[in-house]
Structures are given as C-alpha cells and as structure tokens.
Structure 1
Amino acid sequence: MKKWHDITQPLTNNMAHWPGDTPFSFSISATKEQTGSANVGKIVTSVHMGTHVDAPFHFDNNGKTIEQIPISTYVGPALVIDVSRFSSINSTVLEEFNLGGIKRVLLRTSLPNNPSYFPKELPYLDPEIAPYLAAKGVILLGVDMPSVDPITSKSLDTHHALHHHGIHILENIMLDEVEPGNYELIALPLRIIGADGSPVRAILRSMEENS
C-alpha cells in the first residue's frame, strides 16, 4: 500500500506567525448548548499562516489572485530533495540533483520543522535558481520555510524571480520526516476570491508500495 505523508503545519493558537501579521486563532463562537443544535467554530488568520501558497498578487499588484491559478499547479508528481547541508542554495547546488522532467520540487532545508518558533534567519535561496528551474520545466517550488526570501527582505527578489519564470510558491511544508524521492503532491488552496494566498492541506503519497 502506498503511504500518505501529511506535510502540513498544524494550525494552533500558539503557532508562530510572521512578525506584524495576523496570528491564527480558533475558538468556539457558539456552543451546542447555546444554539440548541451544534457547536460552531470561528477562525481568524492571515492567509499566510502555516503551510500555504502565495499567489502572485501577494507581491505584485498586477499579479493573479489565488482563484485564478489552475488547481493542477498544486496536484501531481513532485520530487523531494535534501539541500540541508547548504546554507545558500543556488543553481550549482541544484545541479547535483536530476530534475529532468520534474514539475514540482520540494526543498528539505536545514531549518527544523518547528511551527511554534519563528526563525530569525533562513537558508538563502538565490534568485538565480528561478531560470534554472524554469529551464527544467518546474512550475512549483515548495520549501520548509516561511518564505523563499530572507526575513528582512522588502524587495522579495526570489518571489519575483520565480514568478517571472512561471514558478508558483508553496511555503512552510514539513519535510523533516520525509525521505528524498518521488511523490504525488496534493496541496490545494481554498478558493478565496481576490486573495493573495491561501492555507493548504499539503500531503504526499509515496510512489512506491510500502514506502
């Protein structure tokens, strides 16, 4: 049997959030006793909390919003590669891996999967990986970090470079327990009209039996 791997950060009231952004909050807004029929929950959150995808509108006022991106972008074969021994990831690093025919690349970096801690620094993704990945046919890049750019970046060079080369962005996936290799990815965003991103439930299915 092919195994499913849940690579989604759990959404909890004590999870870390981007400094200055809206934190995640879940509460019961009405109890079964109050309504006479059902408990009703309420969430308040940024669309960039936890495991999420960025729409181009997030960093480009003329970019597509989340509902305008084909859902096929977020479903299909994906390759998990381990780049955790590198503090800076560029095309030279990526040349060590066979990306031929790969449309979705997921990077397991040196950043530990800890949803309750917001990191001060991230492994660096050089913007020049964008043309390299595009030349390989990649349409989606996933990372186990809150951003593909440095925390302090205002220019968001890697976001823009990936967008310019037709590559969509999946952030804050959890890959510490996932072996490198080929998987089927499902990471569907919510259909939020006009949104600059969306939380996703990201899962991987092993391509080999009993793995």
Structure 2
Amino acid sequence: MLLAYIINMVILGTSQGMRVVDLTQEHSSSTIFWPGNPRYNFTILSRGSNGSYWYEGNSFATAEHGGTHVDSPAHFYEGGWRVQQIPMKKLVEKGVIINVKQKTLIDPDYRVTVEDLVNYERTYGPIPDGAVVLMNSGWSDKYPNPNTVFNTPTPSDPKTFHFPGWHENATAWLMKNRNINIMGVDTPSNDYGQAKVFPTHVLMGKHNIIGVENVGFLDKIPESGSTICVAVLKLKDGSGGPARVFAIVEENKEVLASCSESLLSEVFLMFSLIPLVHRLIGQ
C-alpha cells in the first residue's frame, strides 16, 4: 500500500508539470463550411427523464470538411491515404507554430514563405522530424462569423475570399527539406483565399502529408515545445473529417525541476520510513 502511494505521488507530481490546451472550434450550427457543403444538422432524439433515470440521445449529420477538421491526403491526390488509412503515429507529434499575425494585419492574402520557416529555425532550431506545423495568423479570432472568416460580404462566393494560407514554395521546401507529418492553418484552407488550383493541397496529398484547418486558440501555446494531437474521426473512405485538436504543453522547466527535486526528497523520506512501518506492523 505504501509503495502504491509513493508511485501515485510520482505520477501526480509529473502530471502537474503539464497542461492540455484545446485547439478546436466547436462543432455546431454555426460551424464554417466551404460553399457547396451541406450544413451541420443536430437532432435531439431524446432528452429527459422517464421517472426512473435521465436519458439523452441525439443524431447529427455533417460534411467532412467543416470547422476544425482534417484533410486526408486523398482529398486532393488520387491514391493518397483516406482517413482510416492514416497511421496513428502521424497524428501525435511536436508542435511548430509559425506566427505571421503582424504580416496578415497588413495583407489578408498573405502566404507563409520559405523565409518565415528559415526565421523560425533561426530562433528555435530545425523543425523536428514528424512535426505538426501550423500557421498562426490570428484568424481564429474571427470565427465563426463567415463574413469575417472568409473576409468577404459574400461568403457563398469563393472568388471573393481573402484570407491567409501557405505559399506553395514554402510547402515544397518543407516536403523537400523536412520530414513533417501535418500542416495546418487557423483559416478555412491551407491554400490562401484567392487560390484557384490549390497547389499546397496537391503537394500535401502527393507526399501523404495530413492537413488540418480552422485550428483555434494558437496563442495559448508556445511556438516551440508543445506536443499536438489531431484526433480525427476514423471515417472509412473519408477524404477528411471532424477532429478534436489539442496540445500538451510542458510548463516552465525550471519550475518543473524545482517541483521534481521537492518530490524526490519526499519519496526518499517515505522510503526511509518503510522499515519503521514494518516494525510497527510486526508489533
């Protein structure tokens, strides 16, 4: 029992050095979809008490590509992975946040460049293998108003869209020079609003890179050092699907080290008491 208590203390002490941050926009009747997709529908089948217990059950219908969601490689590349074929290990990896918020304030059609990636690496070091690379343009603050998200008075017309995304040159640079798993944005598309042939989507599909779009709340996590999980619905033959995206962030390492030293002292103290406890039990 004492040993179990000590182990529990160690586990709790470790978990206190972490925080989990939700990066997902709520799936609801206000969810943003690309024009041409059916709207989200939620039907209450049962919600109430029958006298003995409370029971709730609902039905929902949604297009694949709406709200915070995944684009599987098959979305824009024949023969690419469909959702159920994506290896699980590809969905959990180190987070890389490319902050271009100041640039998108000046140019809403801004596209992440190779220079942005090089500048990131000058600050934080090389983008790690398997990384989840996300653009933070500040756009998630505009969600879920379609006029502000698509940046147009006519959100039913894609020709009028003005929002940031990835430049195909930066996408190609990542494909050639880095071994990443996922690329994503806090806007409706990895290609910017004025894209006509979606070159970033095509490149990603060709290299089996998973896409994630309409990610939220990226200001709540550091630009380097998090682990990002993309928990997509395992939809058979899906070209994409709704996802719960979240980050696991290690708190200040100095604080964590201090806590760990304190915890270690407590563990040693408790182990030193074991012989005394055994003698007392023997009496």
Q: Which has the bigger relative contact order, CA under 8 A and spacing at least 6?
A: 1
Q: Secondary structure at the match of 1:97?
A: helix
Amino acid in the other structure paired with 1:190: L
Alignment of 1:121 onto 2:149: no
2:101 is matched with 84
* Deviation of the 1:67 alpha carbon: 0.5
TM-score by length of 2: 0.67
Amino acid in the other structure paired with 1:76: E
Distance in 2, Cα, partners of 1:124 & 1:184: 22
- Where do residues 56-75 of structure 1 align in structure 2 (5 Å cutoff)? 56-75=73-92
Contact kept in structure 1, 2:221 and 2:249, CA below 8 Å: no
Q: Which has the greater radius of gyration?
A: 2
* Gap runs ≥5 in structure 1: none
Percent identity (aligned) = 24
Count residues in correspondence: 210
Greater Cα shift, 80-89 or 51-60: 80-89
Residues 158 and 11 of structure 1: CA distance in aligned 2, closer, same or farther (over 3 Å): same
* Gap runs ≥5 in structure 2: 1-15, 104-109, 151-160, 257-283
2:139 is matched with 111
1:190 to 221, 224, 233: 233
Greater Cα shift, 49-58 or 110-119: 110-119
1:157 to 187, 199, 210: 199
Greater Cα shift, 193-202 or 135-144: 135-144
Amino acid in the other structure paired with 1:122: F
- Where do residues 1-20 of structure 1 align in structure 2 (5 Å cutoff)? 1=16, 2-20=18-36
* Deviation of the 1:17 alpha carbon: 2.2
- Displaced runs of 4+ in structure 1, greater than 6 A? none
2:213 to 151, 171, 176: 171
Alignment of 1:201 onto 2:244: yes
Greater Cα shift, 129-138 or 2-11: 129-138
Contact kept in structure 2, 1:80 and 1:106, CA below 8 Å: yes
Distance in 1, Cα, partners of 2:173 & 2:185: 17
Distance in 1, Cα, partners of 2:34 & 2:74: 18
Alignment of 1:100 onto 2:143: no
Contact kept in structure 1, 2:95 and 2:223, CA below 8 Å: no
Contact kept in structure 2, 1:130 and 1:167, CA below 8 Å: no
Contact kept in structure 2, 1:128 and 1:161, CA below 8 Å: no
Contact kept in structure 2, 1:113 and 1:144, CA below 8 Å: no
Contact kept in structure 2, 1:130 and 1:165, CA below 8 Å: no
Contact kept in structure 1, 2:165 and 2:193, CA below 8 Å: no
Distance in 1, Cα, partners of 2:165 & 2:47: 46
Contact kept in structure 2, 1:80 and 1:182, CA below 8 Å: no
Distance in 2, Cα, partners of 1:60 & 1:100: 25
Residues 75 and 67 of structure 1: CA distance in aligned 2, closer, same or farther (over 3 Å): same
Deviations 1:141-161 (A, max 9, x none): 121111111345442111011
Bigger strand share: 1
Distance in 2, Cα, partners of 1:85 & 1:10: 26
TM-score by length of 1: 0.88
Distance in 1, Cα, partners of 2:193 & 2:205: 19
1:142 is matched with 184
Residues 124 and 204 of structure 1: CA distance in aligned 2, closer, same or farther (over 3 Å): closer
Contact kept in structure 2, 1:78 and 1:105, CA below 8 Å: yes
Alignment of 1:29 onto 2:45: yes
Distance in 2, Cα, partners of 1:132 & 1:165: 12
